[in-house]
C-alpha cells in the first residue's frame, strides 16, 4: 500500500470542514532576530497550501506579525544605544529601530524575516497587528470581550491554574490592555512584566478608563480611539474568528490537553461564535541541544541559512519528518542535508532507487513541496556540495576561474552531460559561493585545509609505500569517478599490506603538508592533475 506524505492527511481534514474560504494562519512576534525554528510553522502552512492547490483548491495564507506586543527585554548580543532600555514595555511597533534603517524595531526584524520568505518558496499575506488593532474588526472584538467578560472568566478558570497574567486574580482578570497616552507603554517591567489593563468601561458610551502601571497616568477615551490590545490567548482567538481561520499550526506546548489551543477553541466558539481552526501540533527545531531563543541570542536565521545552503535544503530538513518529531540542527550538518536533498531529487527522477524502507510516493510528494520556483521537467545536473567545499579551498593555487571550470567539468562528467544549461551553471555558481561561506563560518577542522606549496618533507619508504604512491599516481591519471577512485585507493593500500592510516597520511603529507585532510578522492579530482602528480612524485 502506498505511503504518501503527511501533508495529505492535513489537507483531507481541512477540506472535510467545508469552509467557504480556506484560510491558513501563522504568526510571529518580532522581538529580535527570527530564527529558522519559526519556519517549521511557515513550511507546514506552505506545504498545505501547495497540496490544496494540487487538488484544485485555492487558499489564503496569512502571516501575522505581532508587532503590537510589548518589548520585554533586549536580546543577548544585540548592540543598542545606552538608553534603549527605556523603551521596555512599549509596543514593538513604537520602539525605534536601533540600527536606524526601518520604521521601527518590529519592522526591522519582521522585514529581515519576511524578505527571505519568497526565496524560501513562501508568499504569505503579511499583516502587522499594530495596524490590525486600529481596524473596526478588532475594535468590535474588544467590545465583545468587555461585554462578555464574565463568561470569558468562567472559561479561563477551567484552563489557567494559578495566575498567568501578572497581578491579576481570577475574579478581576481582564485581558484588555491599553497603551498609555503619556509614556507610550503597554506594560511595565520591574521583576516581571505587568500589563496596563483597562480599569473600567462604559459600552453604551463606548469609553474606557485606565491607570498606567508604568507612569501612573490616568486616562480615558473612546474604544475607537484609544490604542487597546487583547492579551495573547484572547488575541489569538479573536484573530481566528475575524479571519475565519481554517488551520493554524502551533507548538506542542500550546497543543497539550487543556492548553492554550483548547482554551482558544472554547473561547472562539462561545464568545466569538466561530468554530475555530484545525490544529496541527509540531515539535521544536533546536540548535543542537539548545532551544533557539531570541531573547537569549540563541538563533540561526533564515537569512544566514540562505548564505550557506540552498532554500530547498531548509524545506527538506523540516518537511521530511513528521511535525511531531524533534529536529536537532547544527550548521556543520549542512553538507549532509544538501547531499540528502540531491539524493531526493535523483529518486524523484528515477535516477536512483529508494531504500527498502522508503516509500516512492512519500518521496515524490516531499520533492514536490520542497522545490522553490519552477518544477524541473528532468533531472538537473547539480554540483555536489561536498565537492564544492573541497574545490573552493583550492582557489589560492588554481585561481577562481579554474575552480569554476573544474566544477563545471566535474558536474558534466558526473551527470553524463556534454554541457550544462545556463540555469545549471547559475545554480553551480551559487553552490560554490554557499560552500565558500560555509567553510569560512562553520566547517569543522577535519574539512578545512590549506595546500602546501613547499616540497614535501616526507619520503615514501622503498617497497610497499613507494608502490602505493605509484599506484595513486596511476589512479589519478585514470580519470575515475569519485567513488571508484576512493575505493581503488583503499584497495591498493590493503593489497600492499599497508596500515590505512599511515598510507593516507603519506598522501596528505605530500599534498597538504599535514597528516589529515578532507576525503581524499574529491581532493585529488579537484586539484590540477599534473600538479598533484608532481607533488606525489616528490615523495618517491
Task: Print the SS3 string covering 112-130.
Answer: HHHHHHHHHCCCCEEEEHH
pLDDT of residue 17 exceeding 90, the answer is yes
Q: Is residue 472 domain-resident?
A: yes
Instruction: Note whether 487 and 531 are same-domain residues.
Output: yes
Residue 218: which residues within 8 A CB-CB, separation 6 or more?
209, 210, 211, 212
pLDDT of residue 519 exceeding 80, the answer is yes
SS3 282: strand
Helix 422-441 × helix 400-414 angle, to 10°: 120
Residues 217 and 209 sit within 8 Å (Cβ to Cβ): no
Beta bridge partners of 327: 285
pLDDT of residue 72 exceeding 90, the answer is yes
Give the pairing of strands 193-195 and 187-189: antiparallel
- pTM above 0.85? yes
Query: Given this model, what pLDDT does residue 294 score?
Result: 65
CATH number of the domain bearing residue 524: 1.10.10.350
Give the pairing of strands 278-282 and 285-287: unpaired
- Examine the fold and report which residue of 379, 407, 438 is the final residue of a domain before the chain moves on: 379
Instruction: Note whether 400 and 356 are same-domain residues.
Output: no
Instruction: Note whether 521 and 438 are same-domain residues.
Output: no
Instruction: Note whether 375 and 395 are same-domain residues.
Output: no
The CA radius of gyration of the chain, in Å to the nearest whole number, is: 29
Instruction: Note whether 304 and 393 are same-domain residues.
Output: no
Could you tell me which residue, 280 or 164, shows the higher pLDDT? 280
Confidence of residue 313 (pLDDT cuts 50, 70, 90): very high
Taking only the tens place, the pLDDT of each residue in 251-280 is 999 999 999 999 999 999 999 999 999 999
Can you give the residue range of the structural domain that contains 433?
A: 385-447
pLDDT of residue 168 exceeding 50, the answer is no
Instruction: Note whether 349 and 400 are same-domain residues.
Output: no
The cell for 360 is 516512492
Instruction: Note whether 420 and 479 are same-domain residues.
Output: no
Taking only the tens place, the pLDDT of each residue in 468-482 is 999 999 999 998 888
Q: Is residue 97 domain-resident?
A: yes
pLDDT of residue 172 exceeding 60, the answer is yes
Query: Given this model, what pLDDT does residue 290 score?
Result: 77
Distance CA(454)–CA(163), nearest Å, equals 71
Query: Given this model, what pLDDT does residue 77 score?
Result: 85
- Examine the fold and report which residue of 355, 379, 403 is the final residue of a domain before the chain moves on: 379
Confidence of residue 297 (pLDDT cuts 50, 70, 90): low
- DSSP annotation string for 334-377: HHHHHHHHHHHHHHHTTSSPPPTTS-HHHHHHHHHHH--SSPPS
Mean pLDDT of 40-68: 98
Residues 402 and 396 sit within 8 Å (Cβ to Cβ): no
Mean pLDDT of 49-57: 98
Q: Is residue 394 domain-resident?
A: yes
Instruction: Note whether 391 and 375 are same-domain residues.
Output: no
Instruction: Note whether 391 and 364 are same-domain residues.
Output: no
Q: Is residue 517 domain-resident?
A: yes
Instruction: Note whether 367 and 476 are same-domain residues.
Output: no
Confidence of residue 162 (pLDDT cuts 50, 70, 90): low
Mean pLDDT of 415-433: 97
Instruction: Note whether 393 and 362 are same-domain residues.
Output: no
Confidence of residue 296 (pLDDT cuts 50, 70, 90): low
Instruction: Note whether 441 and 471 are same-domain residues.
Output: no
Mean pLDDT of 436-448: 94
Confidence of residue 134 (pLDDT cuts 50, 70, 90): very high
Give percent of the chain with pLDDT exceeding 70. Answer: 96
Number of structural domains the chain divides into: 3
Distance CA(43)–CA(206), nearest Å, equals 41
CATH number of the domain bearing residue 72: 3.40.50
Could you give the residue ranges of the DSSP H alpha helices within 149-292? 149-159, 232-243, 252-255, 260-270
Q: Is residue 419 domain-resident?
A: yes
Q: Is residue 411 domain-resident?
A: yes
- Examine the fold and report which residue of 360, 379, 398 is the final residue of a domain before the chain moves on: 379
Mean pLDDT of 147-152: 97
Q: Is residue 125 domain-resident?
A: yes
Taking only the tens place, the pLDDT of each residue in 466-515 is 999 999 999 999 988 889 999 999 999 999 999 999 999 999 999 998 88
- The label of the residue with cell 489564503 reads 60
Distance CA(478)–CA(529), nearest Å, equals 10
Give 150-155's long-range contacts (Cβ < 8 A, gap of 24+): 151/270, 151/271, 152/234, 152/267, 152/271, 155/263, 155/266, 155/267, 155/270, 155/271
Q: Residue 300 gets which letter from DSSP?
A: -
Q: Is residue 34 domain-resident?
A: yes
Distance CA(22)–CA(57), nearest Å, equals 8
Amino acid at each position: 500500500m502506498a505511503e504518501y506524505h503527511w501533508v495529505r492527511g492535513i489537507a483531507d481534514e481541512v477540506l472535510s470542514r467545508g469552509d467557504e474560504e480556506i484560510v491558513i494562519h501563522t504568526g510571529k512576534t518580532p522581538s529580535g532576530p527570527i530564527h529558522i525554528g519559526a519556519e517549521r510553522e511557515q513550511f507546514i502552512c506552505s506545504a498545505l497550501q501547495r497540496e490544496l492547490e494540487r487538488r484544485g483548491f485555492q487558499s489564503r495564507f496569512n502571516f501575522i506579525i505581532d508587532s503590537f506586543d510589548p518589548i520585554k527585554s533586549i536580546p543577548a548580543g544585540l548592540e543598542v544605544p545606552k538608553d534603549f532600555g527605556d523603551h521596555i514595555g512599549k509596543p514593538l511597533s513604537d520602539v525605534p529601530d536601533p540600527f536606524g534603517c526601518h520604521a521601527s524595531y518590529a519592522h526591522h526584524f519582521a522585514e529581515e524575516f519576511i524578505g527571505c520568505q519568497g526565496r524560501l518558496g513562501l508568499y504569505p499575506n503579511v499583516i502587522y497587528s499594530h495596524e490590525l488593532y486600529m481596524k473596526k474588526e478588532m475594535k468590535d472584538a474588544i467590545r465583545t470581550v468587555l461585554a462578555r467578560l464574565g463568561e470569558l472568566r468562567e472559561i479561563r478558570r477551567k484552563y489557567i491554574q494559578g495566575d498567568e497574567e501578572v497581578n491579576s486574580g481570577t475574579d478581576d482578570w481582564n485581558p484588555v490592555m491599553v497603551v498609555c497616552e503619556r509614556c507610550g507603554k503597554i506594560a511595565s517591567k520591574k521583576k516581571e512584566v505587568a500589563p496596563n489593563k483597562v480599569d473600567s468601561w462604559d459600552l453604551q458610551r463606548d469609553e474606557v478608563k485606565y491607570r498606567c502601571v508604568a507612569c501612573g497616568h490616568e486616562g480615558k477615551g473612546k474604544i475607537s480611539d484609544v490604542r487597546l490590545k487583547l492579551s495573547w490567548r484572547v488575541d489569538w482567538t479573536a484573530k481566528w474568528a475575524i479571519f475565519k481561520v481554517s488551520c493554524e499550526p502551533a507548538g506542542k506546548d500550546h497543543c497539550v490537553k487543556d492548553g492554550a489551543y483548547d482554551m482558544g477553541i472554547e473561547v472562539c466558539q462561545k464568545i466569538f461564535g466561530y468554530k475555530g481552526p484545525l490544529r496541527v501540533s509540531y515539535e521544536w527545531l533546536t540548535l543542537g541541544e539548545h532551544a533557539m531563543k531570541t531573547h537569549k541570542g540563541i538563533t540561526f536565521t533564515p537569512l544566514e541559512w540562505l548564505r550557506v545552503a540552498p532554500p530547498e535544503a531548509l524545506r527538506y530538513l523540516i518537511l521530511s519528518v513528521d511535525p511531531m518529531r524533534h529536529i536537532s540542527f547544527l550548521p556543520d550538518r549542512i553538507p549532509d542535508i544538501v547531499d540528502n536533498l540531491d539524493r531526493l531529487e535523483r529518486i524523484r527522477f528515477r535516477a536512483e532507487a529508494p531504500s527498502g524502507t522508503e516509500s516512492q510516493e512519500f518521496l515524490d510528494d516531499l520533492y514536490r513541496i520542497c522545490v522553490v520556483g519552477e518544477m524541473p521537467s528532468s533531472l538537473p545536473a547539480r554540483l555536489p556540495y561536498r565537492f564544492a567545499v573541497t574545490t573552493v579551498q583550492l582557489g589560492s593555487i588554481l585561481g577562481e576561474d579554474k575552480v569554476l571550470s573544474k566544477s563545471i567539468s566535474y558536474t558534466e562528467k558526473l551527470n553524463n552531460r556534454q554541457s550544462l544549461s545556463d540555469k545549471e551553471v547559475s545554480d553551480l555558481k551559487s553552490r560554490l559561493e554557499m560552500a565558500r561561506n560555509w567553510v569560512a563560518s562553520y566547517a569543522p577542522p577535519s574539512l578545512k585545509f590549506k595546500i602546501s606549496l613547499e616540497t614535501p618533507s616526507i619520503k615514501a619508504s622503498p617497497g610497499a609505500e613507494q608502490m602505493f604512491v605509484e599506484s595513486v599516481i596511476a589512479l589519478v591519471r585514470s580519470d575515475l569517478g569519485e567513488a571508484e577512485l576512493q575505493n581503488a585507493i583503499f584497495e591498493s593500500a590493503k593489497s600492499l599490506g599497508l596500515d590505512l592510516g599511515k598510507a593516507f597520511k603519506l598522501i596528505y603529507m605530500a599534498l597538504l603538508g599535514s597528516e589529515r585532510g578532507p576525503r581524499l578522492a574529491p581532493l585529488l579530482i579537484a586539484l590540477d592533475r599534473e600538479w598533484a602528480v608532481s607533488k606525489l612524485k616528490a615523495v618517491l
